Structure 1
């Protein structure tokens, strides 16, 4: 599931003691962690500490192992630059249709398909950004950012959290920002019987959890309050946030008290052994097939060889699109059941949360299937890649809920426009609802009577040709220090997004499913109702829970 990382390329954008530099002191900020002095960077109204290792490097025999807590810091460290990203899966460019405007083509070629990040297996670092006048006694709330990228790409350096901290300062709700790298693609989400038996599934999620544990131990040194942590993410990051809410029987272990999710909810996944085919493929490609312990063999092969094999497996922009190879699965440890089943059972953290989507979540991922032009081909595509275990009658009924009529497709509310093929808008509508919109609504329906919940919909950038209000476009609303940023930082501080000078955002309830809807034009927000495509989404949710496709 994607889970866009590179959009921000376009944006302008126990434990120790601290001696941060006040605004009138131009020296670099320092913090003492255990027995080490860590030096950061002063930047206007904030101080930054970048690239701090939070686990032992997952290299050598620690590849495909649970993250190992870092021992006490005892060596001075210069935290002035982001650490390396974790190894990324290669992204292949689908056929770009003729007729797209220059700005859309530039967006595709210069961001999604051309991002190059220096990477290394030694990548498990985090970053802390705090108000320049913060001190150990400040006890400021903390927001932890988890980036997206389809569980196959992304890193923290793309997102400058200074805009978040600056907005919090401006609104007099100062906060501390933390972001972390985590293992991606097969290195973070290897799946097979061998992985299940070894208890090393969902390593990317385990990395995130370990970063949260680090925050509990050390964030007070930077002026943060470990009892006031909100976890926040977009796309794969938002899905990660949701999975942290359903792991461990819903027990947060005191690691966080609230959650904020952009384009990601508890989503339907099957057992970790469903990834066996991809595991066997890389075992064969790396020459490990004859080994008595194929998992240990994979720990020992050169990284280049391993990545070459991984890059031959499907990514978010392959033909099968969002049915990706490497993602969280039920491993019996971090996830004991399908996340939506856990939600149905009430096995979910009882904390306030915000969740929302972009209007046209599926358009970006439908560019790889433009060769599908007929109704029968859509049915075959869905049967083959999405619902191989579902009877054909189930899929035929689904087609009735998502008809061929292009005026009902995505980008929504664009009439006859954006029909790159006779089936493009139909597939985009189905994908966006199946992976993003329906799981979000299901989560709200299940939990709104138990905890405070708010929901949003971004309909901005609707005029972008073919893509509309595409997946990840809401990032512009928040990392630029815009209106959504204000709602975020107030929620982080007060567990309520509302405040003076903003449109009041009512909670989402089954009787009044309110959506804060972000719009272009003179009226930037309004409250709408979360009732669109109700029958279709209900059918999708019930069908997917019965015939898991991941």
Structure 2
């Protein structure tokens, strides 16, 4: 009997290896040759999910990828989308308009029938850059028992993704790009071993804002593109209507000499290098200085039917299990270190949120009294404005969404605070800065940047990695962060209407649950009350 069992296992193992997805994958419109890695993962980099947005397709919604009979090399990273303010030397080397690619990572032994959970990750960059284009999913796949497929995506940013003329240009092209990539996942991910009926959509910063936009797209219409969501540092930015945003189009056209009845055709005729010379930020109407991120989603009455605060207040979002959260000091990397006066602090906030009134600024100042009496190596008001900006734009919106999920009957909602201190970042005065947890989620060597030294082997925060990856891989696999969590970590309790609680990730891998403080809730309640008036 044992011989028969061993024989059966051997046959099944052989069949599995025979049926495993090959590095050469046929997608119908093209064949892509991937690369088998030594860690048991195969990767396909730079897979087209849409046609090159060139010529007449510039400033147009994404179209289906073109047929190509030539085998495409998918072993190395392809171009990323052109970022506002990027050096012209990057165009044609690392950045291009021809940038609508996804990257796929899957266990090498996955078969087309594996139906593995899928993590579709949307990178951030303020909708003005692709800030994390080289994230590699292999580390997370290994941490998750080889039980998932990871997809990352590029999407158009800056004027290429968010310009509007009030007439011929479809608004929010960059968000349409993301939805096109999510639709690509639905159609093709099974060829890599993934399950299109089990997709967790995630993102950081503007990618997290994108998660919020897709949750509330078309007023919460569920098109079956995702089945759970996780957002690291949701951003509620200043949002204008299409009509209010035309001034951006007009000014870009004027800079490029494209005036008259054929202005759009003229803009489409310009080279990417010509556009890049004119691709810089200008102030919002009524503001004295340019915002950090000028090209952002607009209210179009369709894909983005209203302000984000309003849509979540009214329950107009897809009801799926969700994780929301932020870092302790989310504003420090955005505000100038030399901010020295309260007037400078107010001017910075006004530049980002042009509809802020003097009365509202006064209330915000009262909420964030300046505690920096010594001001070593930086302006006295840097941390004051950092705290205000971080909670206004990031932390409080995430808390608001968690509240909205609970209020509208979604029981499976979790919130977190990432409070893992890196000695270098603390010494710089950054505290625990914006989206640093991405190094933990993907693994420090896989996050596509220079990780904090303390996260590397032997560092004080080495133990954070398995804890974070345990929760995130569990959520990807089961839509519950606790199912496969690390044995050393606490149970992550859900956010409830009565008990507004979140997990806190601490230095060294320590975890604990806490109720948010009354002071934080008071500040967040105020920001929610003024959110619609300041266009969030």
Trace 1:164-243 onto structure 2 (pairs within 5 A): 164-169=140-145, 174-191=147-164, 194=165, 196-243=166-213
Which of 324, 333, 338 matches 1:364? 333
**In the alignment, is residue 53 of structure 1 matched against residue 20 of structure 2?**
no
- Separation (CA, whole Å) in 2 of partners of 1:60 and 1:142: 34
Partner residue, 2:398: 440
SS of 1:448's equivalent? Answer: helix
SS of 1:329's equivalent? Answer: coil
- Separation (CA, whole Å) in 1 of partners of 2:221 and 2:376: 45
Partner residue, 2:490: 503
SS of 2:216's equivalent? Answer: helix
Which of 393, 418, 421 matches 2:359? 393
Partner residue, 2:435: 472
Whether the 8 Å contact between 2:185 and 2:196 is mirrored in structure 1 is yes
CA deviation after TM superposition for structure 1 residue 545, in Å: 1.7
SS of 1:284's equivalent? Answer: helix
CA deviation after TM superposition for structure 1 residue 305, in Å: 1.1
Partner residue, 2:511: 525
**In the alignment, is residue 78 of structure 1 matched against residue 62 of structure 2?**
no
Which structure is higher in RCO with an 8 Å CA cutoff and minimum separation 6?
1
Which of 493, 507, 528 matches 1:541? 528
Deviations 1:500-542 (A, max 9, x none): 5132111111222221111114x62111222352222211221
Whether the 8 Å contact between 1:51 and 1:125 is mirrored in structure 2 is yes
Which of 380, 383, 386 matches 1:422? 380
- Separation (CA, whole Å) in 1 of partners of 2:29 and 2:213: 35
Trace 1:301-316 onto structure 2 (pairs within 5 A): 301-311=270-280, 313=282
CA deviation after TM superposition for structure 1 residue 374, in Å: 2.5
Whether the 8 Å contact between 2:140 and 2:442 is mirrored in structure 1 is yes
Structure 1 residues without counterparts, runs of 5 or longer:
1-19, 93-113, 408-415
- Separation (CA, whole Å) in 2 of partners of 1:378 and 1:525: 34
Whether the 8 Å contact between 1:35 and 1:75 is mirrored in structure 2 is no
- Separation (CA, whole Å) in 2 of partners of 1:158 and 1:31: 21
Whether the 8 Å contact between 2:118 and 2:148 is mirrored in structure 1 is yes
**In the alignment, is residue 457 of structure 1 matched against residue 417 of structure 2?**
yes
Per mean C-alpha deviation after superposition, the further-off stretch among 20-29 and 154-163 is 20-29
Per mean C-alpha deviation after superposition, the further-off stretch among 221-230 and 437-446 is 437-446
Which of 328, 331, 341 matches 2:310? 341
CA deviation after TM superposition for structure 1 residue 461, in Å: 2.2
Structure 2 residues without counterparts, runs of 5 or longer:
1-13, 444-464
CA deviation after TM superposition for structure 1 residue 432, in Å: 0.2
Q: What is the TM-score with the length of structure 2 in the denominator?
A: 0.84
Deviations 1:313-349 (A, max 9, x none): 479xx99575521111112231011111111111101
Whether the 8 Å contact between 1:314 and 1:324 is mirrored in structure 2 is no
Whether the 8 Å contact between 1:360 and 1:428 is mirrored in structure 2 is yes
Per mean C-alpha deviation after superposition, the further-off stretch among 394-403 and 302-311 is 394-403
CA deviation after TM superposition for structure 1 residue 385, in Å: 2.1
Alpha carbons of structure 1 residues 466 and 397: separation in structure 2 relative to 1, 3 Å: same
- Separation (CA, whole Å) in 1 of partners of 2:182 and 2:333: 32
Q: What is the TM-score with the length of structure 1 in the denominator?
A: 0.82
Alpha carbons of structure 1 residues 178 and 505: separation in structure 2 relative to 1, 3 Å: same
Alpha carbons of structure 1 residues 188 and 333: separation in structure 2 relative to 1, 3 Å: same
Alpha carbons of structure 1 residues 325 and 331: separation in structure 2 relative to 1, 3 Å: same
- Separation (CA, whole Å) in 2 of partners of 1:417 and 1:24: 65
Trace 1:221-300 onto structure 2 (pairs within 5 A): 221-265=191-235, 269-289=239-259, 291-300=260-269
Alpha carbons of structure 1 residues 82 and 484: separation in structure 2 relative to 1, 3 Å: same
- Separation (CA, whole Å) in 2 of partners of 1:187 and 1:496: 37
- Separation (CA, whole Å) in 2 of partners of 1:180 and 1:51: 9
CA deviation after TM superposition for structure 1 residue 459, in Å: 0.9
Whether the 8 Å contact between 1:141 and 1:175 is mirrored in structure 2 is yes
Which of 143, 150, 153 matches 2:129? 153
- Separation (CA, whole Å) in 1 of partners of 2:20 and 2:305: 51
- Separation (CA, whole Å) in 2 of partners of 1:35 and 1:373: 57
- Separation (CA, whole Å) in 1 of partners of 2:198 and 2:19: 28
- Separation (CA, whole Å) in 2 of partners of 1:230 and 1:330: 26
Cα-Cα RMSD: 2.9
SS of 2:144's equivalent? Answer: helix
Alpha carbons of structure 1 residues 223 and 157: separation in structure 2 relative to 1, 3 Å: same
Alpha carbons of structure 1 residues 204 and 35: separation in structure 2 relative to 1, 3 Å: closer
Partner residue, 1:8: none
- Separation (CA, whole Å) in 1 of partners of 2:86 and 2:368: 29
- Separation (CA, whole Å) in 2 of partners of 1:332 and 1:533: 32
- Separation (CA, whole Å) in 1 of partners of 2:348 and 2:70: 56
- Separation (CA, whole Å) in 2 of partners of 1:48 and 1:389: 45
Whether the 8 Å contact between 1:268 and 1:544 is mirrored in structure 2 is no
- Separation (CA, whole Å) in 2 of partners of 1:73 and 1:353: 38
Partner residue, 2:455: none
CA deviation after TM superposition for structure 1 residue 403, in Å: 1.5
